[in-house]
């Protein structure tokens, strides 16, 4: 079985590709970013920077970016898929998170892809306390939904957020690496969405002029693909 006509490489090769992609984009965007490592046990892989990623303002390290990508082979046992991920920015002064972009595929009660902001806002606390929320003063207790498994932000989105919105120090030309990485991510996600919704994908392709013939056994779209948040 293939993905986009490509036979899947070995688990170790895919793990190395993930680590290289992470190292390449970090190294192209943030000064003094460490290399990346992939640790493998059986069919499980953790990809992360070899050490915490320094985030600098005008040459002074003020914050730390942590990245964890936890991957398993997909249900066909062919392609590495992210089971959970975490992109966390912390201020070095108190080493407490400022925000966390997280994804937990198996999460049901809360949105699988979410943003937690470690901040306070009086008006929000008032609203939550009136509603009887158990932690009305902790904005980080809210999991802001980010589009589920397929439409969640990629690491390039978070890096561009740091560069463009937070105006941290960057390496000249960082935009090119972010664009390339984001395009790679979106092509992968597009293939995954087509697998989730084969009938809709086929219908769209026919509309574009492609000849698409359904297999004898049409795959059924899972409830998770339809309804998980």
Partner 1 sequence: MGTVTAVSRDDLLERRRSILERLGLTYEELLARAEARTLVADEYEALDALKDIAFLLGDD
Footprint of partner 1 on 140-159 (CB under 8 A): 140-141
Closest to partner 1 by CB, 60 or 93:
93
Contact by Cβ (8 Å): 78, 70: no
Residue 19: CB minimum distance to partner 1, A: 3
In degrees, rounded to 5, the angle at the alpha carbon of residue 96 between the alpha carbons of residues 93 and 101 is 130
Footprint of partner 1 on 55-94 (CB under 8 A): 66, 68, 70, 83-84, 86, 88, 90, 94
Measure CA 173 to chain center. 22
Closest to partner 1 by CB, 44 or 224:
44
Footprint of partner 1 on 2-21 (CB under 8 A): 12, 15-16, 18-21
Given 28, 36, 128, 139, the residue binding partner 1 (CB under 8 A): 36
Q: What tokens were used for 36?
A: 């990346």
Q: Which of 108, 195, 103 is nearest to 155 (CA)?
A: 103
Given 8, 40, 142, 196, the residue binding partner 1 (CB under 8 A): 40
Closest to partner 1 by CB, 105 or 150:
105
Closest to partner 1 by CB, 104 or 162:
104
Q: How many Å from the N-terminal Cα to the C-terminal Cα in the chain? A: 29
Count CA atoms within 13 Å of residue 124 on its CB side. Answer: 13
């Amino acid at each position: 079985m293939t993905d986009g006509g490509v036979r899947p490489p070995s688990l170790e090769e895919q793990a190395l590709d993930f680590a290289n992609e992470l190292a390449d984009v970090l190294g192209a965007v943030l000064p003094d970013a460490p290399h990346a490592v992939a640790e493998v046990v059986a069919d499980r892989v953790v990809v992360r920077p070899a050490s915490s990623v320094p985030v600098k303002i005008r040459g002074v390290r003020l914050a730390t970016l942590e990245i964890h990508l936890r991957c398993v082979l997909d249900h066909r046992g062919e392609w590495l898929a992210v089971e959970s991920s975490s992109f966390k920015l912390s201020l070095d002064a108190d080493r407490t998170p400022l925000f966390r972009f997280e994804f937990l595929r198996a999460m049901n009660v809360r949105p699988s892809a979410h943003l937690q902001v470690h901040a306070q806002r009086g008006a929000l606390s008032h609203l939550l306390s009136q509603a009887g929320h158990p932690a009305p003063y902790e904005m980080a207790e809210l999991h802001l939904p980010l589009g589920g498994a397929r439409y969640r932000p990629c690491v390039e989105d978070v890096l561009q957020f740091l560069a463009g919105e937070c105006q941290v120090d960057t390496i000249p030309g960082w935009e090119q690496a972010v664009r390339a990485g984001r395009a790679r991510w979106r092509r992968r996600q597009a293939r995954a969405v087509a697998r989730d919704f084969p009938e809709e994908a086929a219908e769209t392709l026919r509309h574009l002029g492609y000849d698409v013939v359904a297999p004898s056994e049409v795959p059924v779209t899972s409830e998770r693909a339809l309804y998980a948040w």
